[in-house]
Amino acid sequence: MSAKHFINDPTLLVNSALQSLTLTNPSVALDAENKIIYRRPSNEPSQVSIISGGGSGHEPSFGAFVGAGLLSAAVAGTIFASPSAEQVRKAITSRVDTDKGILVTVMNYTGDVLNFGMAVEKAKAAGLKVEMVVVGDDVGVGREKGGKVGRRGIAGTVLVHKVAGALAAQGRSLEEVFHVAKLTAANIVSVGASLDHVHVPGRAVPNAHSPDSLQPGQVEIGMGIHNEAGSGRAKVQLPELVSTMLSQVLDQNDKDRAFLNVNSNEVVLLVNNLGGVSVLELGGITTEVVKQLGSWGIQPVRILSGTYMTSLNGLGFSISLLNVVNTDIGGPSMIELLDYPCEATGWAAPIQKTTWEAKNTATREDTAGSDQSIKPSGLKADASTFSRTLASGLQAIVAVEPEVTKYDTVVGDGDCGIGLKRGAEAVLKHLKEKPTTGDVVVDVANIVTVVEKEMDGTSGALFAIFLNALVHSLRVLSPGDASPQIWAGALKQSCDALSRYTPARPGDRTLVDALYPFVEVLGKTGDLKKAAEASKKAAEETKGMAPSLGRAVYVGGTGFEQVPDPGAWGLASFFLGLAGIRPDEEGWEAI
C-alpha cells in the first residue's frame, strides 16, 4: 500500500478538505465545529431537505454531493468513523430547511445507524417531521456471514441520493421522497474489489508481510470501503475478476447472495473508483464490465463511470446495478430523476454561471435545538411520586454496579457497570438540581439530555434512541393521566423505534432480553412489580445464552455460560428498583 501523504495530520486533512468544498462551490457553507457542509439559505422555494453523511475518507461522498438537486447537508466524522449524534442533530435542526420535512439517508454501518438514528429520534421528539433510509447494497458479504447486521452500504448509495435529491427539488412531499428513496435502495446491488488495503494518515504503517496483507497479484473480492475483508482472495486477471463480481450480483442460483433479481428492461450501471485507480484504467474496467453484462442480456440505459465513493486512495473499484422500477407516484421515473440537473461538485453537473455571479454570502448561524425549552404536553403524573420512583430505580443501578462489572469482565471489557452507574448518578444529580414538573414528556425529555451527555458507547446510544422515542411516543399519547397503560403503550412504541436501529431481539443476549418482557407484562397487567419480576427472570435466563451481538461475540470463550448478560442484568435491576423490590428480598441474588 502507499503510505505517503502530503497531509499526514488526519484532523487537518479532514478540516481542510471540508473547507475546500466551499471554495469550489459558492452555494455551500461549512459549520466547521460540527463538520457539516450545508446549502446556503436562499430565496428559492422550500423543499424536503435531504441529509446524509458518515466517516471521512469516502470523498466525494458525502460533502461534495451537497448542492441544488442533490443533498441539502452532509455530516462528516473523522476518517472511517461515524459523526456523533449531536453533529447529526445539529444538521437536522438548524442547518437545513425543516418546514417540508427531512429525509436522512445513511449507509448500513452500526455507528452510522445508531448515531444518525439517535439524532432522528431526538428530532422527532422535538416535533420535526423526519424519515430515515438505511442503504445496504453490498453483496460482497453474503447472508450467512452478514447475519443480523445485514448488507453493508457502498457506492450504490449515491444513486439513492441523486434520485431522492432530484425528487425533492421538484417539490414533492416527504412521503413521496421517502417512498422513492426506499424503493431505489431496495433495487440496488453492488460489489467491490481491491488490489490492496489503504493506509490512514497518522496511523502506523502495517507490516507488508503480515498474513492480513494482500500479496503481489492478489485481489480482495468483495472488499468494503473501510479495508474490511470480502468473500475471498484470488490471483486473477481483470476478465475473470469482473466475471466473478457480476456473478455475485446477478446469479439467482447463489442463494447466499441473490438479494435482487435484476430483471428490468432498464438497468443503470455505476462503475466507481475507490480512489487509487487511474482514469485510464477505470475506462478499461468500465469497458470490460459493459461487455460482460451483455452476456447476461443486460444493456445499461445509463452508464456512470468515475469517482463517487472512495476508500481514501484505494486501489480498487466497485460495480453497482440499479434495477429501474416504477416509482408508483405518477412520475417522474428513476431515469428522469437521475438525469435531472444538479449543482454539486461530486456529481457530473458543473456549477452554473448564475451561482458564481450571485456571490451569495449568507450563512446559518443559529443554534436552534438544544437550548430551546420543551413544550408541555399535558400528560400528567404526580411529580413527587415520579421522582421518588425513578430515584429508586437509579439507586438500584448504582448499587448493582460491582455485580454488573464482575459479569462484564467475564464476557466483555468490564465497562458496562461503570457506564450504567455514571449515567444513573448523573440523572440522580439532575433530579436534585431540577425538580420534576409533573408533565412526564417534559421530565423524560430533560433526562434524555443528561443520558446523551453522560453515557457513551453502544449502550449509551441505545438508551438515548429509546428515550428519545419514548418522549415522542408519550407526546403522541398526551394529554391525560400517565397511567400504567399509557406508559406501556409508549414503551412498546419505543421498542419498535429501537428495533429500526439495532437487530437485537430477545434471545440475542443483550439488554433487550430484559426490556421486552418488562414492557409486555406491564401492558398486560398494569402491575409494575410483576413487570419487573418478568424482566429479572428474563435477565437470569441470559446465563448460558450464546451471544449474537455485541462485544461478547468477539471475546469468545465460555464465559457466557457462567454469568447473565451484564446489560440485561443492569436494566432488570433498574426495573426492580422502580418497583421497590429490595436487594435482600428472596431471589434477588439467585445467580
Nearest Cα residue to 500 out of 156, 250, 133: 133
CA distance 436 to 479: 17
SS3 of 37, please? strand
The grid coordinates listed for 283 are: 475506462
How far apart, in whole angstroms, are the C-alpha atoms of residue 183 and residue 207?
43
Whole-angstrom distance, CA of residue 9 vs CA of residue 128:
38
What are the start-end ranges of the E strands in 329-412?
379-380
Q: What is the DSSP letter of 194?
A: E
Catalytic residue among 58, 161, 226, 430: 226
Q: How many residues does the chain have?
A: 591
Which candidate, 405, 424, 425, 402, places its Cα nearest to that of 413? 405
Q: What are phi and psi of 56, to 5 degrees?
A: -75, 170
To the query of whether residue 226 is one of the catalytic residues in this protein, the response is yes
How many CB atoms within 10 Å of residue 403? Answer: 19
For residue 435, whether the previous peptide bond is cis, meaning omega lies within 30 degrees of 0, is no
What type of residue is 488? A
CA-based nearest residue to 89, from 481, 473, 369: 369
| Contact (CB, 8 A) for 459 and 110 | no
CB 561 within 8 A of CB 543: yes
Q: What are phi and psi of 276, to 5 degrees?
A: -115, 5
Q: Cα separations (Å) of 246 from 94, 252, 279, 392?
A: 43, 11, 22, 59
Contacts of 405 (CB under 8 A, 6+ apart): 414, 415, 416, 417, 418, 566
Do 73 and 96 meet the contact criterion of CB atoms below 8 Å apart? yes
Between strands 49-56 and 102-107, the pairing is: parallel
Return the active site residues: 226
